[in-house]
Amino acid sequence: KAGVTQTPRYLIKTRGQQVTLSCSPISGHRSVSWYQQTPGQGLQFLFEYFSETQRNKGNFPGRFSGRQFSNSRSEMNVSTLELGDSALYLCASSLAQGPGYTFGSGTRLTVV
């Protein structure tokens, strides 16, 4: 059974640019969540999508957005990148009401 797949694994962008990250959940999982992980703040919740609808949202600025497609695949977009956006971005999927998530290996974003 394939796990959660995130692409790309590594990304280097320039301040002011925008970026789109992709996540393919485990087959049958309808919930997809996104997290930002940094050494200083740990894992911080960005948003969760379920059946193409945003179900929960964290405390990030509007530059961070996401969407989910009918096949449950999800993308997150960050516009007007700042140096502080450098982080590991993790996607996780779960069953409709599963207690825990299965995480992908993440996308390492570096903003220079």
Partner 1 sequence: QKEVEQDPGPLSVPEGAIVSLNCTYSNSAFQYFMWYRQYSRKGPELLMYTYSSGNKEDGRFTAQVDKSSKYISLFIRDSQPSDSATYLCAIRAGANSKLTFGKGITLSVRP
Binding site for partner 1 (CB under 8 A): 4, 33, 35, 41-43, 45, 48, 50, 55-56, 58, 90, 92, 97-106
Question: Can you tell me the distance from the alpha carbon of 73 to that of 30, in angstroms, rounded to the nearest whole number?
Answer: 9
Between 54 and 80, whose beta carbon lies closer to partner 1?
Answer: 54
Q: Tell me whether residue 48 or residue 85 sits nearer to partner 1 (CB atom).
A: 48
DSSP state of 26: P
Nearer Cβ to partner 1 (8/98): 98
Task: Report in angstroms how near the CB of residue 85 gets to partner 1 at its nearest.
Answer: 19
**Shortest Cβ distance from residue 71 to partner 1 (Å)?**
21
Q: Which amino acid is at 32?
A: V
Give the Cα separation of 37 and 20 in Å (integer): 17
Q: How far apart are the first and last CA of the chain?
A: 37
